[in-house]
Amino acid sequence: MTPSELQSQPQNFDNQGFSAFRDQLREPEWLRVARADAWQTFLSLDWPSRKSEEWMRSDLRAFKLDQFHMPRPTAVVDHEHGAGIPHWLDEGVELAGGIATVDGVCVASRLSDRWSQRGVLLGDLSEMASDAEAIVRKYLFGIVRPEQDRFSALHAATFSGGHFVYVPRGVCLDQPIHLSVGMTDGGTDTGHTLIVIESGAEATVLHESNSCSASAKGLHLGAVEIVVKPGGHLRYVNLQDWGRSVWHFAHQRATVDRDASLQWTIAALGSRFAQVSQKVSLVGPGADCQVNGVLFTQDQQQLTYNTLQHHEAPSCRSDFLYKAALQDKSRTVWRGMIEVDPLAQRTDGYQRNDNLLLSEHARSDSIPGLEIQADDVRCTHGSTSGKIDEELIFYAQSRGFTRKEAARMIVTGFFQQIFDRITIDSVRDALGQAIARQVREYQ
């Protein structure tokens, strides 16, 4: 078999497959070396075990990497391959530009001349590693480390179809950027998203991940890196609605510098199993971060989120609010931590996780925590879990609603506190409708 024929075939996650994958890429030498180092790290590590605090509630016995194939970055993919993949967040929104990928291959990339002329950069991450080498090399894998675990190492070695968003100093991007990640049935996505907001810049990024159908299989090994420089402001919305047979592993990191702010909204609806490690570091005085999480599970799904609010500088504020509604025999695990360094005096940290159980067989594990090494702080945390009040169901039915309609209204109302924090009307409506579609009749 010739080298070109070898590259065109689906490749396994082994040495031969990695070599064939890397040979397809036209990347600078430093990135090729970084990929090779990450691959060696992957080979040297074991899969996470339940002895680890982050993984002790996660059962990976059914996960088999050899059931999936490497992404094929040079495959011929067009919009027809993603015709059945829905978009929710860009409806009714006038965009500055966007990127669309299918199975780790970029199928479309567009940026308005209005913003490209002001220095905004948007494009496929692998291509931008050459076109904007100095910037990408400075930030890529700066806060998501390949050695964190075997999944992060594998991602760093094989990422494909990623996104690069760069907003230069002082530019206020008043139109959102849309990032669409699609996966076909049985596909693999290893996309890496790198967003850099320079000093005094502002932007809104709408990022969604969808499969071609609700029952689709697949593997997602992803990462997000967000850097907000002093005085910068970013609103980032991330909707995950993979098929119900997708394995979803992600490492998400952000740094927020002096007097900068980040509003990060997460909606997680899909996947068979999800394990997400999310960390926001407040690295400059006056930094502010708000993270809003919406989780909805059904059937036998399990969504696990390990979150960390790391206060490294004084006079910073963090606010993490996660809400989950669970149907059938599904399960959520939320493990939150506020970490305050000795120098981070006058910290204001808040975290909360509320869970609404829509079935007697659903389970929510909530583990909030504090690690405080400063003495002038205000840090609070809390968690609640409970069922729908039957009096609310009865009241709605007495007004002519069916039991299903009543449950749908109550679930939507449960998430309203988070929806009220979203300042883009169309996005708020899209998330509300996405959740309402999932609600079955409350038993």
Q: Which two tokens stand for residue 129?
A: 């590693």
Report pTM: 0.94
Q: Which of 72, 73, 21 is nearest to 42 (CA)?
A: 21
Bridge pairing between strands 105-111 and 97-102: antiparallel
Q: At what angle do helices 150-158 and 29-44 cross, to 10 degrees?
A: 150
263 pLDDT band, cuts 50/70/90, is very high
Report phi then psi at 190, rounded to 5: -125, 35
Q: Taking a C-beta distance cutoff of 8 angstroms, is the pair 382, 368 a contact?
A: yes
82 pLDDT band, cuts 50/70/90, is low
**For residue 161, pLDDT beyond 90:** no
Paired residues of 429 in beta bridges: none
The confidence score (pLDDT) of residue 2 equals 46
5 pLDDT band, cuts 50/70/90, is very low
Report CA 431 to chain centroid distance, whole Å: 15
409 pLDDT band, cuts 50/70/90, is confident
Integer CA distances (angstroms), 43 to 14, 146, 174, 198, 436, in order: 9, 12, 44, 36, 43
Q: What percent of the chain has pLDDT over 70?
A: 95
Contacts of 37 (CB under 8 A, 6+ apart): 146
102 pLDDT band, cuts 50/70/90, is very high
Higher per-residue confidence, 77 vs 46: 46
The confidence score (pLDDT) of residue 72 equals 85
pLDDT single digits (tens) 296-336: 999 999 999 999 999 999 999 999 999 999 999 999 999 99
77 pLDDT band, cuts 50/70/90, is low
**For residue 9, pLDDT beyond 90:** no
Taking all residues of the chain, what is their mean pLDDT, rounded to a whole number?
Answer: 92
The confidence score (pLDDT) of residue 435 equals 82
